[in-house]
Structure 1
Amino acid sequence: MNDGIHAGNAPKAVGHYPHARRVGDLLFLSGIGPRDPADNSIPGNEYFADGRLRKYDIEAQVRAVLANVRAVLDASGARWDDLVDVTVYLTDMARDFKAYNAIWAEHFPDAANAPCRTTVGITALPTPIAIELKCVAAFGSRP
């Protein structure tokens, strides 16, 4: 098993773990959120003066999380087309699924060749984000 992969252009991990780990031809990405790698801010979040979250922009967060996944894939030597399975965690399925699904379709326009996907509604994530992705890629899975 190879050492963990830390992508310099992806947000730092929230805990003590790598961005990804390669095992043979498989690449397992740790959960990745939409935080900005430059300053750790969360795109589209607006806060009250006391620091509580006032509102968020799911579209901004979806675009950011997909960019962060791509950054980890690139740092790992994998390609976007190598993604084979994605688990998506949304904190508000009823509110956010439609917008998330539309942006997903922009990034994977050919559903037959998109990665498999499971979307789960959850109550919270470790930081004030509305989406997190857990991905598996297979090197050389596409011509």
Structure 2
Amino acid sequence: MSEKIFAENAPKPVGLYPHARKAGGLLFLSGIGPRKAGTDEIPGLKLDKYGNFLEFDFEAQCRSVFDNVKLVLEECGSSWDKLVDVTVFLVDMKRDFQTYNRVYAEYFKDNQPCRTTCAINALPTPIAIELKCIATAE
């Protein structure tokens, strides 16, 4: 049996799913993006009324995703250093991978989980990055 976890301080999921599920000694996080809790603001992004970019700062989105993952991990009784696997989804691999890789190296200097990076066509909101993570929950 697994336990569903909804993190109070993290952005709300955009569908019917929990932030995480704990099964055995593992914690499985749902896809987490850069939206800010309570406002759904996307850091580094401003759109016009037609949905076109007025401002775009991928690094701000990347840092916000990492901060949101940390929030969920901590509310679930785990922590950043207990991450064992990270899958990242990037909407624009050519534009954003180098920035992602540089910021990732800052955040994961000490803990180096397994990692997979996938280029995707789109995400359900106008974000450029989402992380799917597995951590230990002991």
- TM > 0.5 fold call: yes
Do 1:53 and 1:128's aligned partners in 2 also have CA atoms closer than 8 Å? no
Contact 1:91 1:121 (8 Å CA) reproduced: yes
Secondary structure, aligned partner of 1:128: coil
3-state SS in 2 of match to 1:28 = strand
Report if aligned partners of 1:59, 1:100 keep a CA contact under 8 Å in 2: yes
Q: Summarize deviations over 1:40-86 as a string: whole Å, max 9, x none.
A: 11001111233433442110000000000000000100011110000
* CA-CA distance at 1:38 after TM superposition: 2.5
Q: Secondary structure at the match of 1:68?
A: helix
State the AA in 2 paired with 1:68: N
Query: In the alignment, which residue of structure 1 is the partner of 2:120?
Result: 122
Which residue is 2:131 aligned to?
Answer: 133
3-state SS in 2 of match to 1:119: strand
Q: Which moved more, 1:47-56 or 1:32-41?
A: 47-56
- Report the equivalent of 1:9: 9
* C-alpha distance in structure 1 between counterparts of 2:54 and 2:47, whole Å: 5
TM-score by length of 2: 0.95
Structure 1 residues 105-120: aligned runs within 5 Å? 105-110=105-110, 113-120=111-118
Correspondences of 1:1-143 after superposition (within 5 Å): 1-110=1-110, 113-140=111-138
SS in 1 for 2:39: coil
Q: Which amino acid aligns with 1:116?
A: C
> In structure 2, how many angstroms separate the alpha carbons of the residues matched to 1:55 and 1:89?
21
How far apart, CA to CA, are the structure 1 residues paired with 2:53 and 2:13?
21
Where is the strand percentage greater, Structure 1 or Structure 2? 2
Amino acid at match of 1:24: G
